[in-house]
Amino acid sequence: MVTESLRMIWKTPDTRSQSAGCGGCAARGIRSVISKRKRKHVPAGPAVHDDLVRRKFTADQPNQLWLTDNTEHPTSEGKLYLCAIKDVFSNRIVGYSMDSRMKAQLAVNAVEMAVAHRGYPRGVKVHSDRGSQFRSRKFTQALERHGLVGSMGRVGAAGDNAAMESFFSLLQKNVLDRRWWSSRQQLRLAVIGWLEGKYHRKRKQRGLGKMTPIQFEARMIESVALAA
């Protein structure tokens, strides 16, 4: 069984990156890549699912427990929103979606990608916070359509989805805050490139026995084949 250490992070930017000692920088088009992040407080709505996880972010095999959450980052064109879904077993991001608006369809698209990528498994627990996208009829219907089981964290429990937020912390450090992004498409391609090229295939994780998510899943498949 794989146990992932939980790390508290702050989430999603909504700032203007400026240097305090450079009053004329903005006028010259110079922007700092170091930004202060503030999380906008939005009152949580009523849960539409029970909390089936209770902070036990562990799984014995793939497609037992998926975590999902949203983040955002500014570009010169406006914000780019990202919804990602992580398989707790291997920390692999099995589905994701990016758009210029934070709507329910953003989360639905991530689910559609995840189920297609994983071979349409049924009975998977999908744990989220109580954001409006995850409480929407479109999202709950998508879960039902694919035989997935929704789960929602408690109100006011900051660490309730920390295992998912740890991924966003890595994304923030390795991609989002590395530079200023001139367009949503530029940032979108950078996120996909890092996710598919480095996070899944090159970044070894201590919680996975110093293997990458893809290596960890491949080792599991090999072990199952040998046991059979």
Sorted by where each starts, the structural domains of the chain and their CATH numbers stand as 11-41 (no CATH), 44-174 (3.30.420.10)
Q: How far is CA 196 from CA 94, 103, 134, 179, 193, in A?
A: 11, 24, 25, 20, 6
Rounded CA separation 130/100 (Å): 21
What is the reported pLDDT for 179? 95
- Among residues 2, 179, 214, 172, which one has the least CA distance to residue 84? 172
What is the reported pLDDT for 156? 53
What is the reported pLDDT for 221? 80
Stronger pLDDT, 44 or 217, i.e. the higher one: 217
Can you give the pTM of this predicted structure? 0.79
96 CB-contact burial (10 Å; exposed 0-12 / middle 13-18 / buried 19+): buried
Averaged pLDDT, 5-26: 39
Stronger pLDDT, 216 or 21, i.e. the higher one: 216
Averaged pLDDT, 110-117: 98
% of the chain beyond a pLDDT of 70: 75
- Does residue 41 register a pLDDT over 80? no
